[in-house]
Amino acid sequence: MKNGRSGITIGYMTKLKLRQLELLVELADHQSLAAAASAMSITQPAATKLLQEIEQTLGVALFDRMPRGMRATPYGEIMMRQARTALAALDRGREEIAALMDGASGSVSVGSVRGATSSLLAPALAAVRASRPAVRMSVLVDAAEILLPRLREARLDIVLGNVPASLGGRDLAFEPLLEESLVVVARVGHPLARKKRLAWKEAAHSEWIVYPQETALRPLFEGLEQQGAIETASVVATTMMLERTDMLAVMPRDIAEHYAGRGLVQILELKLPVSLGKIGLVTHKDRQLSPAAIAFIAEVRQIASTRASPRAARSR
C-alpha cells in the first residue's frame, strides 16, 4: 500500500534492515558513499546495492548524485534522522537487556517473617538499593502461613523465613542462614522489668499481644486466650500498645534490640521455652529466578555470613 501523495510505502520502517539503517547514519556523517562503505567495512558496490534497496523499498530518491559525492534530498534528510533515532533506540534496548541480565534493573518480590526483617531483609534491601537503584522491590512481612502459599503461586520470588512442617513440600528449597532467638518485651518501666530472674509462670498470666498464625509460637500461648490477648501482625501496633499498657509481647531478638535501643520497649529477663529455629532463604525449585532476585539473594547470603562470623568467634 502506498501513500498517494508521496508514494512512500506505509510500514517501510519494518522492512528496512539493520545494515541499511547503519548505512544511512554513516552517509549522514560522511556525505560520501565511499567513506560510508569504508566505515562499515564493506565494499562500495555493496554500499551502493544497500542504498538502492532502501530507495526501492521507500519508492523515493534519498540522495542526488553529484560530480563529487552526494547530497541528501528532503526524503534523505528525514530518513537519516530517523535511522539515527532507530539505532539509538536499539542501543538503549541492548543496554537495558545487559543491565537486566546483570541484575542492575528489573524487579523482585520478597516475603519475610518478622524475625528476618532486621537481621536480613532491611540490610539486604539497603544493599540492593545502593548498588542497583533501578531495581524495583516489593516487600510483604507476614507469617510463613501467608508467605509460602504466595511463593507457590509465584506472587513472591523469595521468602526469608523457614518452612513449617505443615507447609513443607518437595517443591520448596530451604537454605538455613541464621538462628533466630525470641525475647519477651514490655513497656519501659514495666513492673516485671525490675526482676533479675523471671519465671515463665509469672509472665504467663499477663495480658499478651500475640502474632497470629505463627506456628512456632502457638504452644507458648495455648490457654492465654482468656487473658484478653490481642492478635496483630504489626510491630508498630505492638510497640504502641506496649507503650500504653502493661501487656507483654514476643519479638525476635534483633527487632526487640532495635526498639529497645530507641527506648520504645524493654527486654525482660525471661527465657522462653520455644524458639523459631533457623531462618533463611525459601525459593521454589521449579522456578527460574530473575537476575534481580539472584542479586538480592547474594546480598542476603553475604549479610548472613557477616553476622554469623562474630557469633561463631564468640562461641569458640
Residues 6 or more apart whose Cβ sits within 8 Å of residue 116? 160, 161, 180, 252, 279
Q: pLDDT tens digits for 170-188?
A: 999 999 998 877 888 999 9
d(CA 181, CA 312): 15
CA 130 to chain centre: 12
Can you give the pLDDT at residue 9?
40
d(CA 40, CA 97): 25
Can you give the pLDDT at residue 313?
42
| 3 state DSSP class of 183 | strand
Give the pLDDT of the chain (316 residues) as one tens digit per residue. Answer: 344 444 444 355 556 889 999 999 999 998 889 999 999 999 999 999 999 999 999 999 999 988 777 889 999 999 998 888 888 888 877 876 776 776 677 889 999 988 888 889 999 999 999 998 888 899 999 888 899 999 998 889 999 998 888 888 999 999 999 887 788 899 999 988 888 888 777 787 788 887 765 555 666 666 554 455 788 878 888 899 999 999 998 888 888 888 999 999 999 988 776 666 788 999 999 888 888 899 999 999 999 998 765 444 444 4
User: Hey, CA dihedral for 192, 197, 202, 204, is it positive or negative?
Assistant: positive
| 3 state DSSP class of 70 | strand
Q: Are 300 and 124 in contact (CB under 8 A)?
A: yes
Can you give the pLDDT at residue 287?
85
Neighbours of 70 (CB within 10 A): 17
Can you give the pLDDT at residue 302?
95
Select from 36, 9, 16 the least CA-distant residue to 25: 36
Q: Residue 57: CA atoms inside 13 Å, Cβ hemisphere, count?
A: 16
Q: pLDDT tens digits for 12-45?
A: 555 688 999 999 999 999 888 999 999 999 999 9
d(CA 52, CA 65): 12
Helical ranges in the chain per DSSP H:
18-30, 33-40, 44-58, 74-101, 114-116, 122-131, 144-152, 200-204, 218-221, 235-244, 253-260, 291-315
Domains of the chain with CATH codes: 12-101 (1.10.10.10), 107-180+277-315 (3.40.190.10), 182-267 (3.40.190.10)
Q: pTM of the full predicted structure?
A: 0.61
Select from 236, 174, 241 the least CA-distant residue to 207: 241
d(CA 255, CA 261): 10
